[in-house]
Structure 1
Amino acid sequence: MIRKNSEYPLQPPRERGTWRAFVFALVMHALLGFFLYHGIQWQNSTPEGAEAELWTEVPDSAIPRLPPPPVPVAPAPPLPDEQADIALQEKKRQQQEAARQAQLAEQLRQQKLQAQQEAEAKRQQQLAADQAAQKAAAAKQKQLQQQQQQQADKLKQQQLADQQKQQQQQQEQQKQADAEAQKKADAQKAAKAKAQADAAAQAKKLDAERRARLAQMQGSAGAPGSTGNGLAKSGTGSGSGGTATSPGYADKVRRVVRPNISWGGETEGLETVISVRCSPTGTLLDAQISHSSGNSAWDDAALRAVQRSNPMPQDIDGKTPTSFKITLRPAG
């Protein structure tokens, strides 16, 4: 392959054998001069004598005659050696020119081929560069997609973690709320149990006091088997126990307490006993459940009904008993 050199212009190829051609031409000219010299000498040499008999007629002077036309002189033919040398040199020149033209054509063909090869190489390089750029862009796009997928997965995991954490927090809050509610319920239950225990103790104490007063009253009356005014029978909205009451006092208590009962649940088997302490004027000083029905809702409704019945009615003597019990059942 002929490398293209842009620094030097295109020059015709250098002919070879110049000195050989020059020597050959000099020899040919010497031979030509030799043959020319001897040819001229040969033509100038005097030929040997020859005898000839000439007959001349006397022209008739009376008849004019035209002179004979001159004989044309044929040009001397060129020497064969000179023509051969000229033809040889012309042929050689033509061959050299043809060789030079062929060499120039070959150079042009080689240059064109080189230009085509360089263009093809450049095209291949550009194609390779384009393919590399496409591969790089595809790899970058793939990497970007992977990064986006990783970010999406990370975000999803973070969201799941946040949801789990939120659920755990909600569960913990629910547990705390349940624990607090249970604690509150336990506290209320304990307070209620304590209140019931205190009410039972108070009722027991009041019952003991009542029995002591009854025994004292019976002893002062002088009749061992005698009874006092008696106790009110228990019933819905009735009162019993505590200080002595008249036979109609239970009805008075029932008429006061019963309108204040608000209950819409079951009615069978429910009975609640409430211990009451009042001032002589009927002001309700204390009301506690001394015997539960087993249904806390009914117990609370019964206790609220008693508390709403403040003040309690007075007995026939114009005073309210200081302590007594009210047995409440829901109206069936």
Structure 2
Amino acid sequence: MTAKATPHLEFAPPEPPGMGRAWLVAIVAHSLLFLALGLATTWKTQPQTLQSEAELWSAVPQAAAPRLQEPLPQPEPLPVQEPQPTPPAIPTPPPPPAPDPTLALKDAQIALEKKKLDEKKKEAEKLKANKEKAEKEKAIKEKAAKEKLEKAKAEKAKLEKEKLEKEKLAKEKKAQEDKERNKKKAADQDKAEKAAKAEASRADALRQENLKRLQGLAGASGGENATGTALKSSGPSATYAGRLVGRIKPNITYPGDVVGNPRAEVEVRVAPDGTIQSHRIVQSSGNKAWDEAVLRAIDKTGILPKDTDGRVPPLIVLGFRPLD
């Protein structure tokens, strides 16, 4: 009849070879050990009685003399020695029961399952810790991104505000410049109108004076616009001033626009050969840029042509208008 096979658990480790012999040797060794311990304890508890005997011997045999016959002393009675009680025998402990291989396998399986549970628990704790760490890092990154976005929005809002302020200042500056330009333009126009009125008044006065002169000097040889009092003009011809203005005006370079038609009068001093020696504004047009352009044109001309009589007046006053 064969022995019933021990059930093998699924996750238990395989049985090592020679386990039966090992258990048998262990049981025998433990039994001998307990037996030795019991004997040693019994020997120590038994009473010990010391007895000694002695015998005397002579070196040469000699015959002893007869001794007196004395009554033999009565021997003293020996003390009655009470018997010692026999100590009770110490029972030998039974040998430990042989371990059950099934229980060992169950313990091994329990230990393995416990180890697996511990590992699963540690793995779950590790996963939980990693998850918490990841969530914490994610929260930190989201917070940093949010702060960065808010900072970018604040910077953008600041730049837009600065841009709006700059545009506002630029508009206000432009409006102020336009206002000043219009004001200056109105002042120049008013000045030009006043100059035109003064020129018209002067021309009217000159015309009236010429009429009087003509009425007083019917026999004079001067022209209708002559201003002298002599019968014969000794100065430049009537067309000489216009010729000089026509000679100088092409050299005028004026990049801007002139409001109205102001007149700039320039006094020019000339050498006998026609070389311009000096010049100055005797009556401004009210536009400084136009006056300076006229003076530059006179400098550029350099030499004035001679009159019909072959002479050049040493001093002559010329008038220049932009639209003439």
TM-score by length of 2: 0.48
Q: From the two aligned structures, give the one with the greater helix fraction.
A: 1
TM-score by length of 1: 0.47
